[in-house]
């Protein structure tokens, strides 16, 4: 089998299980709608609780801004919506799709390692919104649902920023396909970690050969090959400097600078190495 036909069959095989009653495999994007807040509260038979987090969209490396939200432990909600066994498997990602095409694919293991909350309101604030400083956006609506992490109990999560904090979550699913499983054979071992980093930091908006989000669905396997090292680094480290007012956020800017630079270099190596699939599939 050539790489091209391998790509093709893998990309066509990209499937998700949908939520609720209709647990079937459907192409991504056709998941059943989530229940609304009132229906969810009724199903869970308990009121949402208060919790406090360091809000990554408002915080910088030196200024940690705490925000109080109302929500339920995410595991409880995922068990209800996806079934207790479907998503609790090693190697699967829980996929959160936002209204604007942003997709967060979060490894299932992370939910047992860290405490996440499925949030429905902000406490002591006139609306369920937050400013997204990194994307130059004010009073961004967070509803219907927002996924947050207890980064006060687990301060090691603070430098990661907001990539695993999807807001405006409109549907969820379980995805058994990871980007690294789409890598041609000999690339898998070498680029596994970099592909996971790309999934986390870039492919919630962009795509690699049809895999990723729809917020800015350009193929990074293609786009990045047009850039020099200097252009790539300048863009991902400080997009707002290259293009003032852009909504592309800087790469993990709560991390120490040296770690960010190293991460950017790993992403660049990987995105240059990954072959461009002949036709974008899986759309």
Residues that bind ligand HEC (CB under 6 A): 201-202, 204-206, 215-216, 218, 220, 223-224, 236, 243, 246-249, 251, 267
CA distance 234 to 242: 7
Nearest approach, Cβ of residue 35 and ligand HEC (Å): 27
Q: Is 113 left (phi over 0), alpha (psi -120 to 50) or beta?
A: alpha
**Closest to ligand HEC by CB, 48 or 249:** 249
Q: Which is nearer to ligand HEC, 143 or 249 (CB)?
A: 249
Q: Which is nearer to ligand HEC, 48 or 161 (CB)?
A: 161
The label of the residue with tokens 């967070």 reads 142
As measured in angstroms, the least distance from the Cβ of 183 to ligand HEC is 17
Which lies closer to ligand HEC via its Cβ, residue 17 or residue 274? 274
Least distance in Å: CB of 109 to ligand HEC? 22
- Chain centroid to Cα 257, Å, comes to 22
The minimum distance between CB 70 and ligand HEC, in angstroms, equals 25
Tokens of 201: 């930091």
- Token pair belonging to 213: 């989000």
CB of 181 to ligand HEC, least distance (A): 20
Name the residue nearer to ligand HEC (CB basis): 218 or 257.
218
- Residue 78 Cβ, how far from ligand HEC at the closest point, in Å? 23
CB of 224 to ligand HEC, least distance (A): 5
Q: What is the dihedral of CA 210, 215, 204, 211, to 10 degrees?
A: -10
DSSP structure class, residue 176 = -
CB 122 within 8 A of CB 65: no
Structure tokens at 151: 């980064």
- Cβ burial 59-89 (10 Å sphere, 16+ → b, else e): beeeebeebebbbbbbbebbbbbbeeebbbe
Q: Of 115 and 265, which has the nearer Cβ to ligand HEC?
A: 265
Name the minimum Å distance from CB 230 to ligand HEC. Answer: 13
DSSP string, 200-237: HHTTTTSEETTEE-SSS--BHHHHGGGS-HHHHHHHHH
Q: Which is nearer to ligand HEC, 92 or 202 (CB)?
A: 202
Query: 100: which strand partners?
Result: none
Q: Which of 153, 174, 149 is nearest to 162 (CA)?
A: 149
């Amino acid at each position: 089998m050539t790489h091209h036909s391998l790509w093709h069959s893998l990309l066509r095989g990209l499937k998700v299980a949908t939520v609720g009653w209709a647990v079937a495999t459907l192409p991504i994007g056709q998941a059943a709608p989530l229940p609304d807040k009132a229906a969810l509260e009724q199903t869970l038979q308990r009121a949402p609780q208060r919790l406090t987090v360091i809000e990554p969209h408002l915080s910088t490396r030196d200024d940690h801004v705490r925000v109080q939200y109302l929500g339920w432990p995410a595991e409880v909600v995922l068990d209800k919506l996806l079934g207790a066994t479907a998503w609790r498997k090693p190697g699967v990602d829980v996929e959160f799709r936002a209204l604007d095409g942003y997709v967060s694919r979060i490894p299932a293991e992370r939910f047992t390692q860290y405490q996440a909350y499925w949030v429905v309101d902000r406490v002591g604030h006139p609306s369920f919104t937050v400013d997204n400083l990194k994307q130059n956006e004010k009073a961004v609506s967070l509803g219907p649902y927002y996924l947050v992490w207890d980064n006060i109990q687990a301060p090691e999560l603070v430098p990661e920023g907001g990539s695993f904090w999807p807001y405006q979550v409109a549907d969820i699913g379980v995805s058994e396909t990871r980007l690294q499983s789409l890598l041609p054979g000999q690339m898998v071992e070498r680029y596994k970690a970099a592909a996971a980093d790309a999934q986390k930091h870039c492919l919630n908006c962009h795509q690699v050969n049809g895999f990723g989000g729809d917020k800015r669905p350009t193929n990074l396997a293609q786009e990045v090959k047009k850039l020099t090292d200097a252009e790539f680094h300048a863009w991902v480290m400080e997009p707002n400097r290259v293009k003032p007012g852009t909504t592309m956020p800087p790469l993990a800017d709560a991390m120490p600078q040296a770690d960010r630079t190293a991460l950017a270099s790993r992403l660049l190596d990987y995105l240059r190495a990954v072959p461009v699939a002949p036709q974008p599939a899986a759309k």
